[in-house]
Structure 1
Amino acid sequence: MTDNWGFYERRSASEHMRVLINIGYKGAYPLKDYAELLSITINLYPVRANNRTTRNFVKELEQLESKLEHWLSQTSDAIYIGRINAARRLEFYYFLDSSRFNDQELNDWLEHNWPYRAQVYRKPDPEWSFYTFMLPDALEELFIHNAQMIYALIHKGDDIGQPRNVYHWLLFREDVDRREIVPMLEKRGYVIEKEREGRTDQGYPYPLVVSRFEDVRLDTVNERVREIHGLIEGSGGRYDGWGSVMKLSTFNRMRRSVKRSLESVEAAVRRMLPRRDA
């Protein structure tokens, strides 16, 4: 099974959760030999209190996640399906073949590898109903795409905190629905990009491009996508993605400039040197 990890945020009436899930099992679950759900819950308060910086706090949790996944995979072939991070707790979830798992061995491992209390719980879940609960809905799938895009921008040197024109592509089944949504979007501060040609799709022949001038931090983009998705969901519309120009930080602009200069010098030197086969 190929891993395909997705990250998104889910809001309920009582809490705000950040969910990481392996979507790679979406087309194959449930796996009949893995009929038990294992959860390991970490109380975040003592962990946070024992770390002076957020960086160390996150690092300690990441190390636990990595070591725990490796140990459970090696000892019981457990399948790690993801985690849920709420304000007060962090929960790791696995599916098990109960015949290959030993509760006491896990408790002993936690005793030696984790200095804080951890709550361990497992129950039968042959239908993988909890995995179904964790799977993203249509809006949450957009959040996963947002996280992937922003990660790619950061990796390329984008300063995501810099404001820029951020474009959103919308599609509609009927032209009347597209025209009716325009004043609602303008009222919320969106600019209708009449000069930009949108992309059509089968069943959605009426595109609309809108923009706002703002940063592309994940929270900003998710909130904007949530707003637009909510507006057009009941109007025969479909959200089709967003994009923006890159805004490199000063350091990355200098680094790119130096790289281009070095490449130009290298190319000039190559032209000056005689060819070996001449």
Structure 2
Amino acid sequence: MSNSSYSPDWDVYFTFVDNLPAFFSVDLGLADIAPMQDKPDLIEIVIGLQQPDEDGFPGEGEWEVLEEMEDTMVSTLEARLEAQYVAKTLNNGRRALYFYTGETLLLEQLMEEITAQFSSYAIEYQVSEDPEWNIYLEYLYPDEEAMLKINNNRMLQALEEQGDQPHIPRNISHWLYFKSEQDRKACAEALQEEGFTVQSMAETQDVDGMPFELEVYREDKTDEDTITEVTGLLWQLAANYNGDYDGWETIVLQENA
């Protein structure tokens, strides 16, 4: 890829589609350069699972062949169509793979070759015009709540890799941004009622119309359940006051002093 600003950044999140559980795996790095003008056509390939469990996910014995099919499809479409692989989903007994491309003339031939190789599976595909990459940006890409969970998981993984002991409470700093000073003040008061301490209030460069920064901290553990609860509270309070929650950081505690 010629765009020097792009770096692959795959991650996965859990959600619901039509009230059924689903996993979405998405290349988040593409959001910085989407849409790619030379790849206006969306290819969606759907594989019907043979052994789905009660939640519609693959049984233990089916993962290997699904990975083989994915590798084959990705390598073939990237090499022959210069397609950009953007995401895959898993729900309701189906694995779906998504690509964008500017060349579809060979797609029918390539898909015939692929389906012949995996003839025991029901494989369907469709091509649609999507020059603005709306499917990627509005359907596949995580919303704010899902992105919060992704960022939490990344932070928790980094702490774990450094030997952090999540059961030990410590100060955790959080950042929020608001459209107005009045909204920031009101949210700060609400957070203080929840046991948070205001660390600082600053006015930053006006990014996305939210220049009023609020930094707060509170002593909490860093286990997944606690972080999910705390960040969910902060995300909701920020939204209540027309603001955005922008994440957290803390120190690594390797042993209980």
- TM exceeds 0.5? yes
Runs of 4+ in 1 over 6 A off after TM superposition: 49-52
Q: Distance in 2 between matches of 1:6 and 1:147?
A: 13
145, 164, 167: which is aligned to 1:163?
Answer: 167
Q: Distance in 1 between matches of 2:92 and 2:253?
A: 32
Q: Is the 8 A contact 2:46 2:96 kept in 1?
A: yes
CA distance 1:152–1:212, change in 2 (3 Å): closer
Q: Distance in 1 between matches of 2:8 and 2:25?
A: 10
User: In the alignment, which residue of structure 2 is the partner of 1:106?
Assistant: 111
Instruction: State the one-letter code of the partner of 1:209.
Output: Y
Number of residues of Structure 1 aligned to a counterpart in Structure 2: 235
Instruction: State the one-letter code of the partner of 2:152.
Output: N
User: In the alignment, which residue of structure 2 is the partner of 1:241?
Assistant: 247
User: In the alignment, which residue of structure 2 is the partner of 1:72?
Assistant: 77
Structure 1 residues 6-155: aligned runs within 5 Å: 6-7=10-11, 8-11=13-16, 14-44=19-49, 46=51, 53=60, 57-113=62-118, 115-133=120-138, 134-155=140-161
7, 20, 23: which is aligned to 1:3?
Answer: 7
CA distance 1:228–1:57, change in 2 (3 Å): farther
Structure (1 or 2) with the greater helix fraction? 1
Deviation digits for residues 239-276 of structure 1 (CA, Å, limit 9, x no counterpart): 23234555779xxxxxxxxxxxxxxxxxxxxxxxxxxx
Identity %: 19
Deviation digits for residues 134-181 of structure 1 (CA, Å, limit 9, x no counterpart): 23344343333223323434544567xx53437351436433331134
User: In the alignment, which residue of structure 1 is the partner of 2:187?
Assistant: 177
Whether 1:229 and 2:235 are equivalent positions in the alignment is yes
Secondary structure of 2:85 counterpart: strand
Deviation digits for residues 85-129 of structure 1 (CA, Å, limit 9, x no counterpart): 335332110012344433132132133147432222222223322
Q: Is the 8 A contact 2:51 2:62 kept in 1?
A: no
Provide TM-score, normalisation by structure 1.
Answer: 0.66
User: In the alignment, which residue of structure 2 is the partner of 1:215?
Assistant: 223
Provide TM-score, normalisation by structure 2.
Answer: 0.71
CA distance 1:208–1:154, change in 2 (3 Å): closer
Larger Rg: 1
Structure 1 residues 252-263: aligned runs within 5 Å: none
Q: Is the 8 A contact 2:175 2:245 kept in 1?
A: yes
Q: Is the 8 A contact 1:168 1:240 kept in 2?
A: no
Structure (1 or 2) with the greater strand fraction? 2
Q: Distance in 2 between matches of 1:51 and 1:16?
A: 13
